Copies of this chain bind each other. A is one copy, B any other.
Amino acid sequence: MNKVKVPDIIVSRLPVYLRALQYMAANGNTTTSSQELGEKVGISAAQIRKDLSQFGEFGKQGTGYHISFLIERLLQILKVETIWDVVLVGMGEIGHAILRYQGFGNRGFRIVACYDSDPAKIGSQVASFTIGDVKNIIKDIKDGSYKMAMLCVPASVAQEVTDKLVEAGIKGILNYAPVSLAVPPDVRVQYIDPVIGLQRMAYYLTEK
């Protein structure tokens, strides 16, 4: 599978389908249709069928999709059927909130290490982690054992830490710092910046 390059815009929708299907499954549903799924996620039934058809045949005309089967296939396609180890860098407010967040575990990710540059934080205990020194990231993880990181450092040092993560073999960075990062072509960055989302909506608002 995935021999043909699938457009990134389609890839970006798969986690949204997966989340909705897992939610349906948790609520006891066993089958669904592209119509019903579309209503849940705000995407047309035709678009969903077209997106999924990139990866094979998942549903039957008339009977729709078996939710558990479709979940299983999407987990495989997204490579999250087993758990990815994720490194967390920056133990300020956001870093702590992420560490307490309950929503990672059953969706393909777990935090395995925490780092900061503040001497007052390094060595201290947060949940089950001892906060490591960001200086040692390359040494600690350059055996290539970790591929993903969450970056919650201030914007002013985000690029510097990113360079270290890239040197350490990290290939995917979820960036909470409100700044764009420069990375090599084989490294991906996804941005979590609430203001970007708010500004994008403000554009469409007509009055205060």
Q: Chain A contact residues: over half helix, strand or loop, or mixed? A: mixed
Determine if A126 is an interface residue (Cβ-Cβ < 8 Å): no
Within 8 A of B (CB), among A50-71: none
Q: Check if A174 sits within 8 Å of B190, measured CB to CB.
A: no
Copies of this chain, whole number: 2
Q: Check if B188 sits within 8 Å of A15, measured CB to CB.
A: no
Q: Check if B190 sits within 8 Å of A197, measured CB to CB.
A: yes
Determine if A39 is an interface residue (Cβ-Cβ < 8 Å): yes
Q: Check if B109 sits within 8 Å of A203, measured CB to CB.
A: no
B-binding residues in A (CB < 8 A): 11-12, 14-16, 18-20, 23, 39-42, 77-80, 82, 84-86, 93-94, 96-98, 100-101, 103-104, 107-109, 147-148, 150, 155, 171-174, 178-183, 188-205, 207-208
